[in-house]
Amino acid sequence: MQTEIKIGDTVYRIKIEEIGGNTLKVEVNDKEYFFDKNELRQPGFTGFFPENVDLAAKENGVIPREKVEKEIKSPLAGTVSSIAIKVGQEIKAGERVMTLIAMKMENEIVAEGYGKIKEIKVKENQFVDNGDILIILE
């Protein structure tokens, strides 16, 4: 969907596109932002952000594309049960990249933005600690 709106003297060109299963990409005057569709339906929506996004972006509920990390780190300690990507593959926000098993539960690790897989630092059945680098993006 694409539209233009005018607020005061400023014209905003807006384009909304669904990417991945649960992610919306919103372009406002050629600047990209990403939203998790499931979060949009929840009271207290906080957006879809990696930890490094500045506070102003979090408060506005958006994440600029250029703020996405070039590394995907493990959010918890566990064992890599499956890897869903390959080196050289393009990924997008919301796409599953691997699954970790921790405390007998499967935890999906998803991409927080666009990128191309440069290196996969782990193997299946490998134990990882919280904060370990799993994937490096170009």
**The pLDDT value given to residue 19:** 75
Question: In the predicted model, what is the mean pLDDT of the chain?
Answer: 77
Judged by average pLDDT, the poorest of 20-29, 40-49, 101-110 is: 40-49
pLDDT tens for each residue of 62-110 = 544 444 468 888 988 999 999 999 999 988 878 889 999 998 899 888 8
Does this model's pTM top 0.75? My answer is no
Statement: 71-137 belongs to CATH 3.40.250.10 = no
pLDDT at 43 over 80: no
Q: Where in the chain is the domain with CATH 2.40.50.100?
A: 71-137
CA 131 distance to own-chain centroid:
16
